[in-house]
């Protein structure tokens, strides 16, 4: 006597882990029907990817490849692939924005007091002989040899690129799952559906009332990155935050927040910073040229956004 085949549906469940990486709390949530052990293994690989990018691209460690590069001026230096790609992309964005976004602002950031490691509190030793005027044009790349040549004494800051890159590499380790959400302190990537079978909701922090959101986006399979002047204030320079115009070394004041949606996090990360520095009008124009969507909050808390982002806005604060 034959028996009908039975179809057993596995229950969808979620697991979440958070760790301190790249100067922020990184949280990863996975939604899946797969066993917890399988999920935990993938989560571990995701955090390892994030920590690897940090070790390559941080300017806060004396022994990082990025910091060592700053000690070898005037000679081509072969650097690890991850660091090379981060620098290459940062220089591309600098070119797109005519230097408003510029990764050579590391010395400016240190002058403004951004020179302590977030875990140890140790201050990195300042580099000497940094000229008053450097730009992305002083960095030369050799694609074939994968070398970087610094033509002047300068320090690269990849803070607007590396975190997005880390999120993208972490996401690659999680593609096997039905859904996942990576949130790295304003840089997020969302895939699939949440545990309720819905798209993910991403709240954009209110620049003044930080426990509230100024807007909520409903998205899937894309990155959302926010750059805000309220995140890190200079401990030593008045009216200065961690977002500076590469052409002037001064922090812009027109905007307090800029959010960008993009297919991957490194692009959204860099463009949220670039659009913030460019300001509302030029920032919107830059995003339109690249077919990206963005939401801008001015210093008077007016909210402006690109046309197509309306389809993603789930809720706006009154």
Report the chain's C-alpha Rg in angstroms. Answer: 21
- The phi, psi pair for 281, rounded to 5°, reads -65, -50
Q: 199-318 architecture in CATH?
A: Roll (3.10)
Burial (CB count within 10 angstroms: exposed 0-12, middle 13-18, buried 19+), residue 167? buried
Using a cut of 0.75, tell me whether the model's pTM lies above it. Answer: yes
CA–CA dist 241, 315 (Å, integer): 28
Structural domain spans, the chain: 11-59+164-185, 68-150, 199-318
Q: Residue 130: CB partners within 8 Å, gap ≥ 6?
A: 107, 153, 154, 155
How far apart CA 107 and CA 152 sit, in angstroms, is 12
**From first to last of its 318 residues, what are the pLDDT tens digits of the chain?**
445 444 445 688 899 999 999 889 999 999 999 999 999 999 999 999 999 999 999 988 888 999 999 999 999 999 999 999 999 999 999 999 999 899 998 887 777 555 555 455 566 666 656 666 899 999 999 999 999 999 999 999 998 999 999 999 999 999 999 999 999 988 999 999 999 999 999 999 998 888 899 999 999 999 999 988 766 544 445 455 457 776 777 777 889 899 999 999 999 999 999 999 999 999 999 999 999 999 999 989 999 999 899 889 876 654
How far apart are alpha carbons 107 and 23 in whole angstroms?
19
The domain made up of 68-150 is a member of CATH 1.10.580.10: no
């Amino acid at each position: 006597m034959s028996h009908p085949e039975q179809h057993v549906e596995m229950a969808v469940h979620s697991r979440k882990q958070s760790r301190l990486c790249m100067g922020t709390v990184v949280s990863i949530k996975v939604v899946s029907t797969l066993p917890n052990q399988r999920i935990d293994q993938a989560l571990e690989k995701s955090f390892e990817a994030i920590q690897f990018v940090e070790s390559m691209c941080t300017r806060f460690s004396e022994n990082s490849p990025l910091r060592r590069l700053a000690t070898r001026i005037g000679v081509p230096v072969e650097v690890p692939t991850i660091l090379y790609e981060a620098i290459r992309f940062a220089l591309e964005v600098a070119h797109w924005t005519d230097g408003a976004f510029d990764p050579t602002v590391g010395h400016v950031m240190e002058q403004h007091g951004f020179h302590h490691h977030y875990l140890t509190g140790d201050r990195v030793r300042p580099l000497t002989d940094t000229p008053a005027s450097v730009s992305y044009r002083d960095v030369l790349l050799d694609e074939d040899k994968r070398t970087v040549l610094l033509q002047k004494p300068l320090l690269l800051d990849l803070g607007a690129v590396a975190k997005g890159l880390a999120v993208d590499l972490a996401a690659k380790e999680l593609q096997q799952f039905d859904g996942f959400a990576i949130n790295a302190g304003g840089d997020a990537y969302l895939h699939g559906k949440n545990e309720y079978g819905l798209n993910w909701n991403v709240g954009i922090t209110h620049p003044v009332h930080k426990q509230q959101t100024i807007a909520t986006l409903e998205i899937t399979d894309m990155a959302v990155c926010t750059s805000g002047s309220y995140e890190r204030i200079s401990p030593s320079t008045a009216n200065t935050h961690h977002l500076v115009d590469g052409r002037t070394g001064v922090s812009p004041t027109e905007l307090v927040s800029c959010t960008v949606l993009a297919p991957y996090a490194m692009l959204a990360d860099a463009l949220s910073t670039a659009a913030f520095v460019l300001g509302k009008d030029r920032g919107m124009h830059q995003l339109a040229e690249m077919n990206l969507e963005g939401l801008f909050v001015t210093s008077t808390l007016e909210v402006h956004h690109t046309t197509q982002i309306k389809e993603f806005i789930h809720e706006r604060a009154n």
